[in-house]
Every structure is written in structure tokens, then in C-alpha cells.
Amino acid sequence: MNAEWWRGATLYQIYPRSFADTNGDGIGDLPGITQRLPYVASLGVDGIWISPFFPSPMRDFGYDVTDHGGVDPMFGTIKDFDDLLAQAHRLGLKVVIDQVWSHTAAEHPWFQESRSSRENPKADWYVWADAREDGSPPNNWLSWMGGPAWRWEPRRRQYHLHNFLPQMPDLNFHCAEVQAAVLGMARFWLDRGVDGFRLDTANLYAHDPLLRDNPPAPPGQRGDNPVLMQRHAYTMDQPESHAFLRRLRAVMDEYPGRVTVGEIGGADAQATMLAYTQGRDALHTAYSFAFLGARPDAGTVASQLAPWASSEGWPSWAFSNHDVPRVASRWSSVKAAAGFSFSGSDGPDATQRHPTGAEGADPLTWMALLMALRGTLFIYQGEELGLPQSEVPFERMQDPFGLAHWPLNPGRDGCRTPMPWLHAAPHAGFSQTEPWLPADPAHAALAADRQETDPGSVLNQTRALLRLRREQPALRLGACEVLHAQGDVLVLRRGEGEHAVLAVFNLGSSTAAIPPTLPVGALDPQRCLWALPLAAPIGLNLPAGAAGFYRHQD
């Protein structure tokens, strides 16, 4: 694959704790990933993104790192990672790994030294500040995990900054030695052969050195959580973050074919993503949160796509990940089981029993929509099975955010339950022992082995969609023009000329009229490349949850 293999590619996100357990401790591991890589390759994806597997006290399940160049023993060894990487490459899969650079765990040797005094060699490696005269924190900055973003350190008689848990202190990117150490981490993994990095909280690297108070958010943009009541003018998107990422890009350019995917959030995330991906010295692509919330209507989808049509930047899209409820539940209402018929480029009609029992929009509606977008795509493990969100009882909850906000917000455990491999095996084939989170009984019916034999299953139709995206250059790299976006009906044209593809969707739960702007015969079954359930003549209306790809006619 060429140096820009990532443009239009689809990556499969693996959350190691919940993917496959080979040593019987109830926690997924790197050998488990290696064992299941042939399954991942069979989907037709271009690579994998592996969430953190580094040594960690696991307060935030790997996003609190104590050694950026190692492997936590619960996941295996560095040799296990090398074996995984070699197997992935043999199967034609690229490997992108998480890099958590904005903060470390409090147990990290760097922080242990930094906290010991104000004079040690790493005294400035973290963000330290004196208390106000009344002893309170230096400013009003708030943690995304709740409460002030400052924790008192008696050894230094100063506060340290933590944008997340108090035991996750923020590194000081205004310190040249910190930047050099982080770039050294990047080189370590690049030299090992990884194909890129997903950069956690990439626009939180630097802070305002004057420690000015964040202003209140405008009234219409405030959330219920106190941290969402501020405009993060001095804790996000500082010029020094851009400057560091330019240095990182220079390092990446020394290793052809590697990619950086920046996790970019904020109140105006779209504009920020565009800014962070402009130019040959910027991030290769930015990971969007745009579709990780409430179900969008057609206009919302169009508004997210529009700015990228004329931008030199490149977006990345996902509908599910390890931090949000699964899309099969988040965007669909659960009802009694319903049947759909499919007809695509790979053969005769087949019947699929809808896994979540949603009325109208189906997991395949969302998978088809994802495949229609111009950008780099991410599929979260189990999304290809149509897994719904799990309900984890309070006594089994692990997520610190969920434990702090229960019962109003159950946190992230429900999207992190074990991957179901074998429907009749204990714990759905994930492990031989009780897993760290309970295997969802509802997921066993959707296990990979059960869907393998059904041509119309979500799994096999996801393979068909990924094959379609590979076979149609217009879908992978072509231009994207919104032809219609009203209510729940969305029509996109991907590519140009005789190879263009028309993508048509009804994102709602009721029938909708076919747009009058579509030319007569545009949805002719003879032009159909893949459809849900549009292969048969459909009259004047699009069924609820309809999705289809058609050869475009001029």
C-alpha cells in the first residue's frame, strides 16, 4: 500500500481488556488479539487500532501510563506485541496504537521524581502552581472526571494539574525536555514497526502558562457537568500544542507510510479538527466526535461533511468506541425482532434477524452510512456484529466515571463488555473464567460463530459493505457531494463521472418520500450495488432505515 494508505482506510478498534483472553485470568491480552487477527482480516479492514496496553495501575484502564515503552504483564510481554505486529503485517493489516502523552499515572518514575522537590532535574516536567493566598487552587480549571483540576502535593507545597483523575498528573509541554522525551517514545514504537499513533486528547497537550481562569461557556452551550459550564480557552488548543505536533509530524515523515490520528474534542470540534489537519506539517487526520452522540438527522450529517469538501485536511469518522454507548442502541429504539432482506453485489437475497430488534433503522443502516462517508473510518469491536449496549449492574461496575456519576450516568462499562466469539461457550468464548466485566447474555445470540453461517447477518453484510468500499474507488477516495439532506433522507454522490456512486438513506423510523430531485430510475435494482432493503422496486417511498448504494447515472 502507498504512503497514504490511511486515506479512505477502515481501521478496527480493539479494546484489549475485552477482546480475547488466552491465559484464563478473565482479562483480554495481546496473544488473544494475535489469535483473532485472521477474523479481523476476514472483515476486509485495512488495519487495527489497539487501545492502551502499557504498564498502568489501571485506575482508568490503561489511559494512566507508568511506562510508555513497555507492556503491562496482564496483557503479555513486549515479545507478545512483536508477535502481534508481525502477524498483523503478514495478514496485510496496519497497526496503529494509542499514545497517551498529555498525562501519566502518578506512579510514573517521572512524576515520582518531579513531586519530590522543587529543585530536582524533573521539577518542571509536570504542571505545578502555588496555591492562592487562601490556600485554594490557583484557578478555576475543572477536571473532566469531576471537581477541580488541581491536587495538592505536600512534598512541594504546590498543586499539580490533572485534567482527568487526580492520580493522572498532566505533563508540562512548555518544558523542552518533556517534548524531547515524548518524541523519543514515538521513535521507540516507530522503530519497532508500528504504522501509526492514535493520539489521546491531542489538543490538551499544552496549557496557558499564565494560568488564567476559563470563562463561562455561553448559555446555550453549557452542559449539566460543571466542566461543561466553562469555555476551555486556557486548557485546550494552545499554540504550543500546534507547535509540538509540527515537531511530531517531522519525526513521522522520517518513517514513510506512518500516520497520526489526533483525538480532537471541544465545543467547536469541527473547526478545531480542520485547523489541526491543515498543511503538510500537521496531523494526518483527526478523530471526530461528531457522530458519537445523539442520532443525527440528514442535515446534521451534511453539516459535518460540508467543511471537508473543500479542505486539504482529512477527517476520521466513528459511530462507536470504548467511551460511548454502542451505536446499535444509541441510534435505534429497541422493539420486537424484525426481519430484513438484503441483496447486494455478492449474491442472492438472504434474511437477517435484526439483532437489537430496532424499529426502522438497523445496525446495518449505520454501518452503510459510515461506509458512505469520505474520510478514514473506525469500527469498534463488536460493531460488525450489531451488538447493543450492555447493562452492567452497579456491583460489577469498574469505570471510575460511572461509579462517580451513577445512577444518572452509568459510565462506559456497557460498551466495554467482553467480545462474544462462541454462542454456546462459557462467557461467550471470551474466557474460560469469569471476565473482568460480565459477558452479556444478549450478546451470546449475536456471537461471531453464529453469524458466520448466515449470509444475511450483520457480520457478513458488514464484510460485503467493506468489500464494496474497496472495490469502488469513489467510496474510498472520491469527492463527496450532498445532493439531498432534509428530515431523515440523505442522498450523497461519491466520486465523479461514470464511476460515481449514489448513496441513499432514510435515517428515520418511518417511511419517507423519495426526493423528487432524484432522476427517474436512479434507484433501479439493476444499478444496485448493495441495499437494505432497497433491491426490490420500492414505489414512491423509502422504508424506515433504508440504505442503498447505486451506480450513478448522469
Close Cβ partners of 1 (under 8 Å, ≥ 6 residues apart): 46, 94, 257
Cell output for 383: 460493531
pLDDT of residue 196: 98
Catalytic residue (choose from 133, 191, 224, 254): 254
- Does residue 535 register a pLDDT over 90? no
Helix (H, G, I), strand (E, B) or coil at 19: coil
Planar angle of CA 237, 239, 244, nearest 5 degrees: 95
Catalytic residue (choose from 46, 200, 383, 384): 200
- Phi, psi (degrees; rounded to nearest 5) at 102: -75, -20
pLDDT of residue 311: 86
Least confident of 142-146, 197-201, 263-267, 271-275: 263-267
pLDDT of residue 153: 98
Cell output for 162: 490533572
- Does residue 399 register a pLDDT over 60? yes
Q: In which band, very low, low, confident or very high, does the pLDDT at 346 lie, cut at 50, 70 and 90?
A: very low
pLDDT of residue 193: 98
Cell output for 237: 488548543
Q: In which band, very low, low, confident or very high, does the pLDDT at 340 lie, cut at 50, 70 and 90?
A: very low
pTM: 0.93
Separation of alpha carbons 32 and 24, rounded Å: 11
Residue spans in the chain of domains classed CATH 3.20.20.80: 10-105+175-466
Classify 384 in phi/psi space as left (phi over 0), alpha (psi -120 to 50) or beta. Answer: alpha
433 and 24 in contact (C-beta within 8 Å)?
A: yes
The single-letter code of the amino acid at 338 is: A
pLDDT of residue 520: 80
Least confident of 354-358, 454-458, 470-474: 354-358
Mean pLDDT of 314-320: 96
Q: In which band, very low, low, confident or very high, does the pLDDT at 236 lie, cut at 50, 70 and 90?
A: very high
134 part of the active site: no
pLDDT of residue 389: 96
What's the alpha-carbon Rg for the chain, to the nearest Å?
24
pLDDT in tens, 139-186: 999 999 889 999 999 999 999 999 999 999 999 999 999 999 999 999
pLDDT of residue 333: 56
Separation of alpha carbons 27 and 18, rounded Å: 7
Cα 346 versus chain centre, distance = 29
CATH superfamily of this structure's domain 10-105+175-466: Glycosidases (3.20.20.80)
Q: In which band, very low, low, confident or very high, does the pLDDT at 356 lie, cut at 50, 70 and 90?
A: very low
> To the nearest whole number, what is the mean pLDDT of the chain?
92
Mean pLDDT of 410-416: 94
254 part of the active site: yes
CA torsion angle 384 387 389 390 (round to 10): -130
Q: In which band, very low, low, confident or very high, does the pLDDT at 220 lie, cut at 50, 70 and 90?
A: confident
Close Cβ partners of 382 (under 8 Å, ≥ 6 residues apart): 326, 419, 420, 443
Cell output for 67: 511506562
Helix (H, G, I), strand (E, B) or coil at 530: strand
pLDDT of residue 405: 82
Dihedral sign, CA of 210, 211, 212, 216?
positive
> What CATH code is assigned to 479-551?
2.60.40.1180
Percentage of residues in the chain with pLDDT exceeding 70? 94
- Does residue 338 register a pLDDT over 80? no
